Structure 1
Amino acid sequence: MIQLEPINGFFKRERALQAAYPMRMLIVREGNGFLCMNSGDYPLLKGRIFFIPEEGLVRLEGEITSGYWLSFSSLLYAEFLLQHLDPQAKNLFLNLSFRDLDSQESIKTYSLLDQLKKEINIKKDMPFLAQYLSLFLGFTAGLDGYLAALTLDDLQQVLRFRAILEQFYKQERSIQFYAEGMGMSSGRLNKFLDRVLGKSLTVLIKDRIMREAEELLLHSDYTVDEIAELLGFEQTTNFSTSFKRHKGISVLQFSRLT
């Protein structure tokens, strides 16, 4: 569902780049020449990252001294879209687009890619890789402005927290559980989440539960009672009350809207 490979060498446009999955990115660390698509030729500049649409062959004309070729499945991209509801995220791969990273952004980008490569090689589970990819896309596309100000250590800690939350949000609610998973005290984790995400653990868990509730209501055949049980609510009334507080409308009204 995800493939990441270093890319370097001389390229001629007669031969297209092959990708294992439909969503494609080219990250240029050092290079010169052009990325060639039907829409035109685009310079391969230092620190340039390309977001390449599903349709169309990717051809290179020139040399890449150092770079990465990343492809991933539409399923992983869907997870990113669930966390980024703004139109810019949805349009990211509709047409060829690119972003030029400054020196600090480039350093962080390549450190994240190096770590992602290690996680792929040791066969980390897909929920973890989905969280990693979502963070990486949010950072490189400039969609999560707060990420740009974080240190590499902070970015890694955000990733680790997201992965733990994704695995346990349905069952675990206590700050102590997540603090132990992060190797922190409860007080330190609370301060970290408030500083980097601007939300408490309670709010982050509730946001994730309600996002899952919306998905299940939209795209599953589960009853409301079954959804409440799946999401860790002892009673359906508790789920219905939480949903209305979060969305401003009842579960029934939400279902009718869709």
Structure 2
Amino acid sequence: MIQLEPINGFFKREHALQALYPMRMLIVRDGAGFLCMNSGDYPLLKGRMFFIPEEGLVRLDGEITSGYWLSFSSLLYAEFLLQHLDPQAKNLFLNLSFRDLDLHRSTKTYQLLDQLKREINSKSDISFLAQYLSLFLGFTAGLDGYLAAFNLDDLQQVLRFRAILEQFYKQERSVQFYAEGMGMSAGKLNKFLDRVLGKSLVVLIKDRIMREAEELLLHSDYTVDEIAAQLGFEQTVSFSTSFRRHKGMSVLQFSRLT
């Protein structure tokens, strides 16, 4: 579902780059020449990241001294879209686009890529990789501007928290449970989350549960009772009350809108 490989050497436009998955990125650490697409030729510059649409062959004409070639499945991309609902996220791979990274952001980007490569090689859980990729895309595309101010340790801690939350949000509501998973006290974890995400753990858990509820209501044939049970509610009325508080409308009203 994800492929990440270092890329370097001389390339001729007669030969297309191969990708295992439809969503593609070229990260140029250092190089010169052109990325050649049907829409035109784009210079390969130091610190330039390309977001490449599914359609069209990817050809290079020039030399890449150091870089990465990344491709991933639409399923992994869907998690990123769930966390980033603005049009910029939806349009990220619609047409070819690129971002030029300054030295500070480039350093973090390559550190994140190196770590992602290690996670792939160690066969990390796919839900963890989905969270990692979502963080990476949000950071590099400039959609999560607040992440730019964090050091690498903070970014890794955010990633670890998201992975734990993704795995356990349906059944675990205890602050202590997540604190132990993060190796922190409950107070320290809440202070960290408030600093980096601007929300408490309780709010983050509720947000994730309600996001899943919306997805199930929109894209499944489960009954409201079944959805409530899947999301860890002992009674459907508790789920319905929480949903109304979160969305400002009842489950029935939401279902009618969609």
Indicate the TM-score class for this superposition, using the shorter chain for normalisation: over 0.9
2:183 alignment counterpart: 183
Which blocks of at least 5 consecutive residues in structure 2 are unaligned?
none
* Alignment correspondent of 2:193: 193
For residue 224 of structure 1, what is the aligned residue in structure 2?
224
Q: How does 1:90-239 map to 2 (within 5 A)?
A: 90-239=90-239
- Tell me the residue number matched to 1:81: 81
CA distance in structure 2 between the partners assigned to 1:228 and 1:39 by the alignment: 48
Whole-Å Cα distance in 2 between the matches of residues 207 and 52 of structure 1?
A: 31
The normalised TM-score by structure 2 is 0.99
For 1:175 and 1:225, how far apart are their aligned partners in 2?
26
SS of equivalent residue, structure 2 residue 13: coil
Q: CA deviation at 1:229?
A: 0.4
Which whole-Å deviations, capped at 9, do the CAs of 1:87-116 have from their partners, x for residues lacking one? 000000000000001111000000000000
Q: 1: distance between equivalents of 2:64 and 2:123?
A: 28
- Structure 2 residue aligned with 1:5: 5
Q: Distance in 2 between matches of 1:187 and 1:250?
A: 34
The RMSD of aligned alpha carbons is 0.4
3-state DSSP of counterpart to 1:123: coil
1:44-63 alignment, distance < 5 Å = 44-63=44-63
Could you say what secondary structure the match of 1:18 adopts?
coil
Please state whether the residue corresponding to 2:16 is helix, strand or coil. coil
Q: Distance in 2 between matches of 1:53 and 1:121?
A: 26
Tell me what 1:67 maps to: 67
**Counterpart mapping for 1:14-29 below 5 A:** 14-29=14-29
SS of the aligned residue for 2:29 comes to strand
Output the CA distance in 1 between the equivalents of 2:78 and 2:55.
17
Matched length: 258
- Structure 1 gap ranges (5+): none
Note the alpha carbon deviations across 1:207-227, whole angstroms, 9 max, x for none: 000000000001111000000
Shift of 1:254: 0.6
Query: How far did residue 174 of structure 1 move?
Result: 1.0
CA distance in 2, matches of 1:96, 1:219: 29
SS of 1:24 mapped into structure 2: strand
